[in-house]
Amino acid sequence: MSKDFASGRGEEPPSTSRLNSLKEFHSAGRGAWAHVSDADWNDWRWQLRNRVTTPERLQERLPTLTGDERDGLHLAENKLALAITPHFFNLIDPEDEHCPIRWQVIPRSGEGTVAPWEMSDPVGEDSHSPVPGLVHRYPDRVLMLVTDRCAAYCRYCTRSRLVSNASGYDFHPEFDRQIAYIASHPEVRDVLLSGGDPLLFTDEKLEYLLSRLRAIQHVEFIRIGTRIPVFLPQRITPELCAMLKQFHPLFISIHSNHPRELTTEVRDALGRLADAGIPLGNQSVLLKHVNDDATVMKALAQKLLLCRVKPYYVYQCDLIAGSAHLRTSVRRGLEIMKSLRGHTTGYAVPQYVIDAPGGGGKVPVNPDYVLSRNADRVVIRNFEGKVFEYPEARDGTPRFKPSEDFIAPELV
């Protein structure tokens, strides 16, 4: 594609240079907030108070809004609130209407188009809630929703029915009832705090919740699902980290979708969490216009490792009402996974899952590496497309050497 490369001047292949430029760390900068003092800018409460939350403010900060985005704004009011932190807002490229950051946080007219198969509770959480705000879907762990507020709102939010309270769901978690349920269910050895974003709570409130969970003998480990390190890295203060590290084993799953989100500020915030001994994972959602691209996903995965974050899951976009404009095919997702596995370290390869519509839970979907399997052998394909066979018998002992007459098709 690149003329320089084609003319043989010895530059790197275009894909490598694109990968490397996607992995460069940049500061979010001050953008339109150049006049603000360092003390204010670095204060998470200032960032929250100064979020872009109204169509007027958005239009003023981003005069290049497209017709599609303007049409989307009036939909936001009673569906899912508009909110973008100044830090995250500065990652928007005003000259690029297909900027991957814009697609994630600025409403579009597509939000008003609801297909018959789309749902307000696409993964059936409400039907698996024994008490309000607690989802017990898997045998040994629960999802505990502690708030309906986030620092900023993702337009494809799977919990938009309750998050931001724009659609009148009236979410009221009752911590006492949630905790009583966990305490009376000894099979629950793993509690995942989410919402909304638990890190919006004050240190004191979070500490109170974590210590109540830690007081339950059978709770082995606690996780927090949060996008705050990405939306609001200023929240990750040394005081927060010192508080969190009292509750080990405590893991954090962050949410990032595009390498541009990993700014120098975000890298530093993640470094503070990692230094507090908190294992970090990342969850991404596969989104059209954002990351349905093998090079973008590889850059994201490798850049996460540079931030000491293990890519954990990539989700196929849930069938949330009004998300068709952001959805991409499972076929595309599988192609992307194939481009990662073996081509880069396994640490950079997340598990691709579909959260089964209606409440089946997360189901892994993988490219086919097992071509066939019978009582005698397994025929497998490697990342280069080469085919191999592995002998096995019912008791696990190979009955014979790999057949000498086995002819591996070169490429499948």
Ligand X SMILES: *Cc1c(COP(=O)(O)O)cnc(C)c1O
Q: Is 99 a catalytic residue?
A: no
- The answer to whether 43 and 81 have CB atoms below 8 angstroms apart is no
C-alpha 42/C-alpha 358 separation (Å) is 42
Tokens of 260: 């541009």
Tokens of 360: 């089946």
Q: Which of residues 117-156 bind ligand X (CB under 6 A)?
A: 135, 137-138, 141, 143
| Nearest distance in Å: CB 213, ligand X | 15
Nearer to ligand X, 191 or 228 (CB): 191
Q: In Å, what is the CA distance from 291 to each residue of 172, 193, 259, 318?
A: 34, 26, 9, 15
Nearer to ligand X, 135 or 262 (CB): 135
162 makes contact with ligand X (CB under 6 A): no
Nearer to ligand X, 103 or 247 (CB): 247
**Which of the 8 DSSP states describes residue 38?**
H
Q: Is 241 a catalytic residue?
A: no
| Nearest distance in Å: CB 2, ligand X | 40
Q: Is 159 a catalytic residue?
A: yes
The strand pair at 280-285 and 370-373 is best described as: unpaired
| Nearest distance in Å: CB 20, ligand X | 31
First to last CA, the chain: 27
381 makes contact with ligand X (CB under 6 A): no
Tokens of 200: 């919006």
C-alpha 325/C-alpha 333 separation (Å) is 16
| Nearest distance in Å: CB 252, ligand X | 12
Residue the block writes with tokens 């497998």? 380
192 makes contact with ligand X (CB under 6 A): yes
Nearer to ligand X, 112 or 357 (CB): 357
| Nearest distance in Å: CB 183, ligand X | 18
Q: Is 137 a catalytic residue?
A: yes
Catalytic position from the list 121, 148, 197, 355: 355
Phi, psi of 352 (to 5 degrees): -85, 130
Nearer to ligand X, 73 or 162 (CB): 162
268-307 mask for ligand X (x: CB under 6 A)? Answer: ----------------------------------------
Nearer to ligand X, 82 or 319 (CB): 319
Q: Is 154 a catalytic residue?
A: yes
Q: Is 235 a catalytic residue?
A: no
| Nearest distance in Å: CB 138, ligand X | 5
Order of all β-strands in the sheet with 377-381: 370-373, 377-381, 387-391
Q: Which of residues 347-366 bind ligand X (CB under 6 A)?
A: 362
Q: Is 40 a catalytic residue?
A: no
Which amino acid makes up residue 73?
L
Query: How many residues of this chain interact with ligand X, rule: CB under 6 A?
Result: 7
Catalytic position from the list 99, 150, 307, 317: 150
Catalytic position from the list 79, 155, 157, 292: 157
Q: Which long-range contacts (CB under 8 A, 24 or more apart) does 169-176 make?
A: 171/132, 171/133, 171/145, 172/132, 172/133, 173/132, 173/133, 173/134, 173/144, 173/145, 173/146, 173/147, 174/131, 174/132, 174/133, 175/146, 175/209, 175/212
Write out the catalytic residue numbers: 137-138, 141, 150, 154, 157, 159, 318, 355, 362
> Where do contacts with ligand X occur on this chain (CB under 6 A)?
135, 137-138, 141, 143, 192, 362
